[in-house]
Structure formats: structure tokens, C-alpha cells
């Protein structure tokens, strides 16, 4: 456990700068977006109300109150989220391939450490999970800050206060990264861990067998995904809805657990037997 935690700390330190950049980009772009959108709304109100074109009541009737849900539906808010998702997706590949870059491949130093080689796999997948959860937590922290910025620009009578749940509901991306119920949260990120483990296995196959490994990785990924959703496919196309929802849910959990176990075992085999120092 101690060696595993040291590896996690090491891996996270390697992405600390990237992580800080993602946080900074998210903070700057979203805060600028809140300011721009709030100023646009306020300028429109000033132009229509204070120049006598509309009364305040008529303006609110036509254009409505400003709420954070309107701001989060703009590209000012969406773009940083999509950028972070793309960065994490890219790093899933980079976290392995960067170890092979250079004349003296760093992966061999990792493999010679006095610890189980499978700890390298667990440390990398844990780092990806920490990075993802950290970005999600930061986004949730940003929401009340952005609300305060909006209220500091737009007068209170033009603002509609909404709950965090209403904000989350208004943007599908937020609902995707932070589901409403704890069980959905566990399932969402559990599926993410499974997907990353399958990708890691495919990457290690490519690293172990080169061109043949690319084909093997693609085949493995396809089979793993197919097995994961097999109960659902059988229930829909073969059994005509034979299973109850709870039964199908349990079958999916079992199948996903088997695929995850298979991925871990395959990665252990490749690290121990096929990638040699």
C-alpha cells in the first residue's frame, strides 16, 4: 500500500502543472463569461428601460430575469468543460506513452521499482480518477462564486435566484459529470474506471506486441465492450424484455465486474511477462 501511494503521489506530481492549467482556464473563461453575459443583459436593460422604450415590468415580462442557468448554457461555460474532458481523454493515452518517450525509456525505471508491477497500473488509473474528480469538484465550487459575480453586476430586482440542482438540470454536461443521486454517481464513475481500464489494456497490448498489439487491442476493446453490454442486448433483441429492471441492473454489474477483473489480470500478465527490462 505504501509503495502504491508513493506511485500515486509521483504520478499526480507529473500532471500537477496540467491540472493547474485546466483549473486556471476554467476559472478565467467562466468568470469572463459571467461578466460578459451579465454586462450584456444589464446594457440591454439600460437601453430599453432608461431610454423609455419599456417599463421595468414590461422588460422583465419580455426578457425575463437573469439567472445563472442562462449563463451556463453559453459557450463561455461549456467550452472549458469540453476542454477539460478532452484534456483528460488525451492524458489517458499520454500517461502511458510518455513513459516510453526518450532514449532511456522511463517505463523501465518504473518496472524496476521494488513493488508489484500492477501497482503502476493502479497508480495511473487512480491518478486519472483524482484528476477527473478534482475538476468536477472545482466546477461545483465555481458555481456559487459565479453567482456572486453575477449579483455584483446586475441589480437584485433583475435576478432570479435558483438552486444548485436547477443549475445542474439546465446543462446536460453538468448532469453528466455530476449525477443527481449517489448511486448514479457511483455507476457513472465506475463505468469510467472500467472504460479507462479497457483502454489501458489495449495500450499495453500495443506496447507489448507493436503492430500486432494494435489489432489485439482493438479486438480486446470491442470484445470487452460487447461483453459489458451483452445482458442489455440479449434482453432487448433476444429475450424481448424477459428480465426485470433490477435483474438487468444486477447482471450488468456482474458483467462489468468480470470485464474489469479480466482487464486487470491481462494488464498484470502483460506487465509481468511481456514488457521486460
* Residue 255 and residue 231 in contact, taking contact as beta carbons nearer than 8 Å: yes
Considering only CA atoms, give the Rg of the chain: 24
Q: Summarize the confidence of residues 62-85 as an average pLDDT.
A: 84
Band (pLDDT 50/70/90 cuts) for residue 28 is: very high
Residue 180 has pLDDT above 90, yes or no: no
* Residue 264 and residue 121 in contact, taking contact as beta carbons nearer than 8 Å: yes
User: Which has more pLDDT, 219 or 274?
Assistant: 219
User: Which has more pLDDT, 127 or 78?
Assistant: 127
Provide the pLDDT for residue 262. 94
Provide the pLDDT for residue 97. 83
Provide the pLDDT for residue 254. 92
Strand partners, 159: 66
What does DSSP assign to residue 240?
S
Band (pLDDT 50/70/90 cuts) for residue 277 is: low
* Residue 154 and residue 66 in contact, taking contact as beta carbons nearer than 8 Å: yes
Residues 87-120: pLDDT tens digits? Answer: 999 999 888 888 787 555 677 777 787 778 888 8
Q: Is 46 helix (H, G, I), strand (E, B) or coil?
A: helix
* Residue 216 and residue 274 in contact, taking contact as beta carbons nearer than 8 Å: no
* Residue 120 and residue 112 in contact, taking contact as beta carbons nearer than 8 Å: no
Residues 200-243: pLDDT tens digits? Answer: 999 999 888 888 889 999 999 999 999 998 888 887 777 777 77
Q: Is the dihedral of CA 183, 184, 188, 194 positive or negative?
A: positive
Q: Is 66 helix (H, G, I), strand (E, B) or coil?
A: strand
* Residue 19 and residue 133 in contact, taking contact as beta carbons nearer than 8 Å: no
CA-CA distance, 32 to 17, in Å (whole number)?
A: 22
- Grid coordinates in use for 58? 414590461
Provide the pLDDT for residue 74. 82
Q: Summarize the confidence of residues 25-31 as an average pLDDT.
A: 93
Residue 257 has pLDDT above 90, yes or no: yes
Provide the pLDDT for residue 70. 81
Residues 29-49: pLDDT tens digits? Answer: 999 999 998 888 888 877 777
pTM for the model: 0.86
CA-CA distance, 150 to 136, in Å (whole number)?
A: 21
Residues 127-169: pLDDT tens digits? Answer: 999 999 999 899 889 988 988 998 888 888 888 877 777 777 7
Q: Which residue has the cell 472549458?
A: 80
Amino acid at each position: 500500500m505504501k509503495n502504491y501511494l508513493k506511485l500515486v503521489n509521483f504520478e499526480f506530481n507529473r500532471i500537477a502543472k496540467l491540472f493547474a492549467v485546466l483549473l486556471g482556464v476554467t476559472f478565467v473563461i467562466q468568470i469572463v463569461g459571467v461578466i460578459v453575459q451579465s454586462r450584456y443583459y444589464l446594457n440591454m436593460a439600460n437601453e430599453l428601460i432608461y431610454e423609455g422604450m419599456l417599463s421595468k415590468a414590461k422588460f422583465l415580462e419580455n426578457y425575463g430575469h437573469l439567472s445563472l442557468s442562462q449563463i451556463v448554457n453559453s459557450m463561455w461555460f461549456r467550452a472549458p468543460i469540453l476542454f477539460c474532458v478532452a484534456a483528460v481523454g488525451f492524458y489517458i493515452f499520454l500517461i502511458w506513452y510518455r513513459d516510453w518517450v526518450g532514449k532511456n525509456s522511463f517505463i523501465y525505471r518504473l518496472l524496476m521499482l521494488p513493488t508489484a508491477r500492477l501497482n503502476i497500473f493502479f497508480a495511473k488509473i487512480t491518478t486519472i480518477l483524482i484528476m477527473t474528480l478534482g475538476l468536477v469538484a472545482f466546477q461545483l465550487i465555481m458555481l456559487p462564486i459565479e453567482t456572486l459575480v453575477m449579483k455584483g453586476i446586475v441589480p437584485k430586482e433583475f435576478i432570479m435566484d435558483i438552486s444548485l440542482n436547477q443549475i445542474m438540470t439546465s446543462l446536460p454536461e453538468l448532469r453528466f459529470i455530476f449525477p443527481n443521486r449517489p448511486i448514479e454517481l457511483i455507476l457513472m464513475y465506475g463505468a469510467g474506471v472500467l472504460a479507462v481500464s479497457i483502454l489501458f489494456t489495449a495500450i499495453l497490448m500495443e506496447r507489448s506486441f507493436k503492430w500486432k498489439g494494435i489489432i489485439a487491442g482493438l479486438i480486446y476493446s470491442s470484445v470487452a465492450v460487447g461483453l459489458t453490454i451483452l445482458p442489455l442486448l440479449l434482453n432487448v433483441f433476444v429475450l424481448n424484455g424477459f428480465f426485470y429492471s433490477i435483474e438487468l441492473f444486477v447482471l450488468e454489474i456482474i458483467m462489468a465486474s468480470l470485464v474489469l477483473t479480466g482487464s486487470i489480470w491481462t494488464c498484470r500478465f502483460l506487465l509481468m511477462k511481456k514488457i521486460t527490462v
